[in-house]
Structure 1
């Protein structure tokens, strides 16, 4: 599976112990590791794999939203703006409540301006009262990845 989808967490559930190392970031499992589940059942935990190139830019963005693509190779602010584009269409209640956007017409606010608004509401200011949009972007992505904005599925299986 792709990085950070819960392969190690699933194995821990099956073993009923925390034997496989788990963190909220990709790349923790570095090699193949076998775990005995029952007398005649073993499971193999493997590092996540990604195919080298995405034919569809949106698929790559969705993977980046989840943290499956390293943030260091992306423009984090652009990724956060694209996530806000996605969230504005979905309008998850936890997102609206968490950032106190109940009285805002988010459909008519450009996503970069929305990022600035969120940063301002969180007090992410630098000298001169300017909003630290990079810090706001990192916070937004962290909160999305830790499900603080709600349990959000970025892609549905085809045919649904």
Structure 2
């Protein structure tokens, strides 16, 4: 088996190619997408309805000061609002604005479209199995890194 047939090199080939994909999102827009996805995911995944900068930092695997700057930029751009916590007025709670909800939906549609395009023509059973394994793999990456 050549290295082209091995999963490790294949993984890094995918990361490299997708990282330099033509038409990639500009840096500011990418930051907004990362923040709205983190806020949306944290709100959906938690029993705690209060999403904070700490939640964003944890989801994005960033230090709190970096996450705070990213959230502040998303707030200035109108994608996220900050309000006082009902439990602790010192804490700032994050929520998506209608523009943030729209950006989240569009980014998810784009991501799903890229995936669908890459597996177009695959048998449905293989797409379902690959989807299941890819989600499982992504969860392992989140736990490990």
TM beyond 0.5: no
What is the TM-score when the length of structure 1 is the normalising length? 0.28
> Which structure carries more helix by proportion?
2
Larger radius of gyration: 1
What is the TM-score when the length of structure 2 is the normalising length? 0.30
